[in-house]
């Protein structure tokens, strides 16, 4: 059975409205007011949940890909823990904003995740954070290019962190297109096609990994939370 056939079956079973192939060689950028230039907008609750989870890991020297750099506060937080962060965005203004912060260990790139690796040389990442991987996809074929890219650049033992609410947000938002509203099962079935398994590691966080993903330390999460409170953050 071909990948195209499997995706067709999957779309017919589960993913309403998202075409299997949009017909374009390069993925379209779908203009949606919700994501327009997030440089000065606070981080979403989805992303903050993933950040709180990630804080429980030993991050000194870790390499993190943050897809949807937004205000770059993610990079500020995790470069502060000794990680190297690569942020990606489709908004030039967010790149300029991220660069203006001059965060040591951070680089921010203009990159459409649905173009896959896009011919660039990427490092391997211990963590890939994408709080809403199905938004704002043009079709399943380009969505699969993104998942293949994530699988290819994931370091051994690495994990892709997704938020369940972010994954399905467009289903609960009347102004948004329901075709981006994926369920856990949709993510799990599509990730399997690139050799990744989906694990519900918390009530809201999903990790995609090749084997059982490492768990964060609760004590470390707590200590970092206390330190942040003491610093007034
Ligand atoms: C709503 S903002 C959220 C920013 C941040 N992740 C947060 O949760 O606070 C959406 C982000 O996703 C990025 N984005 C949208 N479509 C993208 C795509 N196809 N590839 C990479 N980034 C994309 C936007 O540039 C923006 O940084």
Model confidence over 19-38: pLDDT tens digits?
888 888 777 766 555 567 89
CA of 136 to the centre of ligand 1 (A): 9
- Picking from 124, 129, 110, the residue whose alpha carbon sits closest to that of residue 50 is 129
Distant-in-sequence, close-in-space partners of 213: CB < 8 Å, separation ≥ 6: 159, 199, 201, 207
The answer to whether the bond into 136 is cis (omega within 30° of 0) is yes
CA of residue 73 relative to chain centroid, distance: 15
The answer to whether residue 190 scores a pLDDT higher than 90 is: yes
CA of 23 to the centre of ligand 1 (A): 23
Q: 3-class SS at 40? A: coil
Q: φ, ψ for residue 36 (rounded to 5)? A: -65, 115
- Write the CA distances from 175 to 34, 41, 46, 134, integer angstroms: 10, 19, 19, 16
Lowest mean pLDDT among 10-19, 98-107, 156-165: 10-19
> Is 169 close to ligand 1, i.e. is its CB under 6 Å away?
no
pLDDT at residue 174 in the model: 63
The answer to whether residue 179 scores a pLDDT higher than 70 is: no
Confidence band, pLDDT 50/70/90 cuts, at residue 167: confident
Q: 3-class SS at 83? A: coil
Q: Which of 36, 42, 53, 89 to mutate to test the pocket of ligand 1 (most atoms within 8 A of CB)?
A: 89
User: Given the DSSP bridges, would you call strands 154-163 and 197-200 parallel, antiparallel or unpaired?
Assistant: unpaired
Taking the alpha carbons of 216, 72, 41, 233 in that order, is the dihedral positive or negative?
Answer: positive
The answer to whether residue 211 scores a pLDDT higher than 80 is: yes
Q: What is the DSSP letter of 168?
A: H
CA of 87 to the centre of ligand 1 (A): 10
CA of 226 to the centre of ligand 1 (A): 29
Say which residue the tokens 């610093």 belong to: 231
Rounded CA-CA distance 156/80 in Å is 24
Domains of the chain and CATH, by start: 39-230 (3.40.50.150)
> Is 134 close to ligand 1, i.e. is its CB under 6 Å away?
no
The answer to whether residue 171 scores a pLDDT higher than 80 is: no
Ligand 1 atom nearest the C-alpha of 41 is 9
> Is 166 close to ligand 1, i.e. is its CB under 6 Å away?
no
> Is 91 close to ligand 1, i.e. is its CB under 6 Å away?
yes
pLDDT at residue 6 in the model: 86
Model confidence over 89-146: pLDDT tens digits?
999 999 999 999 999 999 999 999 999 999 999 999 999 999 989 887 888 999 999 9
> Is 159 close to ligand 1, i.e. is its CB under 6 Å away?
no
Ligand 1 atom nearest the C-alpha of 27 is 19
Ligand 1 atom nearest the C-alpha of 135 is 16
pLDDT at residue 221 in the model: 93
Confidence band, pLDDT 50/70/90 cuts, at residue 47: very high
Ligand 1 atom nearest the C-alpha of 113 is 20
């Amino acid at each position: 059975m071909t990948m195209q056939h499997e995706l067709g079956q999957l779309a017919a079973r589960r993913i309403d409205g998202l075409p299997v192939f949009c017909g374009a060689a390069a993925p379209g950028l779908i203009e949606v007011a919700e994501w327009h230039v997030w440089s000065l907008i606070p981080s979403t609750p989805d992303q903050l949940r993933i950040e709180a989870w990630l804080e429980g890991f030993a991050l000194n020297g870790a390499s993190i890909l943050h897809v949807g750099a937004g205000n770059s506060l993610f990079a500020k937080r995790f470069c502060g823990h000794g990680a190297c962060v690569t942020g990606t965005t489709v908004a030039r203004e967010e790149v300029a904003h991220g660069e203006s912060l001059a965060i040591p260990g951070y680089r921010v790139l203009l990159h459409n995740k649905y173009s896959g690796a896009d011919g660039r040389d990427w490092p391997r990442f211990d963590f890939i954070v994408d709080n809403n991987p199905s938004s704002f996809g043009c079709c399943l074929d380009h969505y699969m290019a993104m998942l293949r890219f994530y699988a290819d650049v994931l370091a051994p033992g690495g994990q892709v962190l997704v938020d369940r609410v972010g994954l399905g947000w467009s289903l609960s938002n009347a102004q948004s297109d329901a075709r981006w509203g994926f369920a856990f099962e949709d993510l799990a079935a599509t990730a399997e096609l690139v050799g990744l398994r989906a694990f519900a590691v918390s009530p809201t966080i999903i990790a995609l990994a090749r084997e059982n993903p490492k768990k964060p330390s609760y004590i470390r999460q707590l200590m970092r939370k206390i330190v942040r409170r003491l610093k007034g953050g």
